[in-house]
């Protein structure tokens, strides 16, 4: 859980979940708002610079470290 203040009247709470799947195919819903979704290996994450925010990269690396079999 990531909790941090936005201003004196607003606090942001982010819940982050780690999961695994048996296939690497993504089937997005018709109402998906993301422009692109993709699975990344740790090596691929290390090559990304400006393409992904530091926070998202941090969460992704934590998930990969937690799920060491993957």
Residue at 24 is within a domain: no
CB 41 within 8 A of CB 29: no
pTM recorded for the entire structure? 0.64
Residue at 27 is within a domain: no
pLDDT tens-place values along the chain, 70 residues long: 788 899 999 999 988 888 888 888 888 888 888 877 888 888 888 888 777 888 888 888 999 888 876 4
Residue at 3 is within a domain: no
Residue at 69 is within a domain: yes
**Domain containing 63: what range?**
36-70
Residue at 65 is within a domain: yes
Question: How many domains are there within the chain?
Answer: 1
Residue at 20 is within a domain: no
Residue at 21 is within a domain: no
* CA nearest neighbour of 37 among 26, 24, 49: 26
């Amino acid at each position: 859980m990531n909790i941090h203040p936005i201003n004196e009247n607003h606090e942001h709470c982010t819940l982050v979940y780690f999961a695994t799947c048996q296939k690497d195919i993504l089937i997005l819903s018709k109402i998906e708002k993301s422009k692109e979704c993709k699975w990344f290996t740790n090596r691929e994450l290390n090559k990304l610079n400006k393409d992904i925010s530091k926070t998202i990269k941090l969460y992704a690396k934590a998930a990969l470290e937690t799920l060491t079999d993957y």
